[in-house]
Amino acid sequence: MKVFSILTIFAAFNLISGNLAAQSNAIASLADKPTKHKSGSKNLYFDVHHIGAGKVTAEAVAQAHAKDLATEKKYGVHFIKYWVDEKEGNVYCLASAPDTQSIRKTHGEAHGLLPQEIYKVTAGQESFATEGKVYFLDVHELGAGKVTAKDVAAAHQKDLAVGPKYGVNFINYWVDTKQGIVVCLSQAPDSNSIRNAHREAHGLLPSYIEEVKQGQ
């Protein structure tokens, strides 16, 4: 009888120990896995720096961008791409971040050049770029509350259909529906080709078009 009791206690002890070990291993396994941000936990932003005509070079912007990349993790920011218009002195940055202040803090600490505008945007489906062709950014200022993401997506499909006729490769777009801003990235022979493509596709002409150099 005593032998049976001892064996029963011993078996119960092994069972409990096994369960604890399994729980410990499960916890350790979870701890080893990187924490993933939930879909949508970060927002997409397009920020614009107006530095001044003739006051910026692509090389200087590349150096500033390297500083951004060295600082971004501190504020939960991920800089994706940037574009610079050396002639007009404008720099455009695309980044994901928790909020606009995170972007400002990153730029501020990295090099002190703060953007004049930051747009919270949604992006379209990116197309392939052609190596060696010139990039352009064209900006549509449609007015606050006067555009929806669905409308821009439909207009972009029309651009894609018409673009080849004018030698324009529409690569992607970003839309801030709250402020009514649409930014299009394309490759084209010149700015007039982009205007003509937009005009024929849907009639919505950009407020301005800039030839840019892309970095990332």
Walk along the chain (216 residues) and give the pLDDT tens digit of each residue. Answer: 333 333 333 333 343 334 333 333 332 332 333 333 333 458 999 999 999 999 999 999 999 999 999 999 999 999 999 999 999 999 999 999 999 999 999 999 999 999 999 999 999 999 999 999 999 999 999 999 999 999 999 999 999 999 999 999 999 999 999 999 999 999 999 999 999 999 999 999 999 999 999 998
- Looking at residue 21, its pLDDT comes to 38
Q: Which CATH class is domain 43-215?
A: alpha beta
- Looking at residue 119, its pLDDT comes to 98
- Looking at residue 213, its pLDDT comes to 98
Euclidean distance between CA atoms 29 and 33, whole angstroms: 7
Using the Cα atoms of residue 155, residue 161, residue 162 and residue 164 in order, give the sign of their dihedral.
positive
**What distances in angstroms separate CA 197 from CA 146, 171, 191, 211, one per listed residue?**
22, 14, 10, 16
Asked if 87 and 134 count as a contact pair (C-beta separation under 8 A), the reply is no
CB burial of residue 169 (10 Å; 0-12, 13-18, 19+) = middle
Where are the domains positioned within the chain?
Answer: 1-33, 43-215
- Looking at residue 41, its pLDDT comes to 56
Euclidean distance between CA atoms 118 and 163, whole angstroms: 28
Q: Which of 114, 92, 112 is nearest to 101 (CA)?
A: 114
pTM check: above 0.85 = no
CB burial of residue 99 (10 Å; 0-12, 13-18, 19+) = middle
